[in-house]
Amino acid sequence: MKECNQCGKCCENYSDGGLSATEHEIEFWEIFRPHIYEFVSEGKIWVDPKTGKQIKRCPWLRQLPNQGKYVCDIYYDRPDDCKHYPVTIEQMIKDECEMLEARDLVNPKQAQSFLDKLMADSRPSVK
Q: Where are the domains positioned within the chain?
A: 9-85
Q: How far apart are CA 28 and CA 4, in angstroms?
A: 28
pLDDT along the chain (127 residues), means of 10: 92 90 97 98 96 96 94 96 92 93 94 90 68
Distances in Å between the Cα of 15 and the Cα atoms of 24, 54, 82, 92 are 20, 9, 10, 16
pLDDT of residue 125: 61
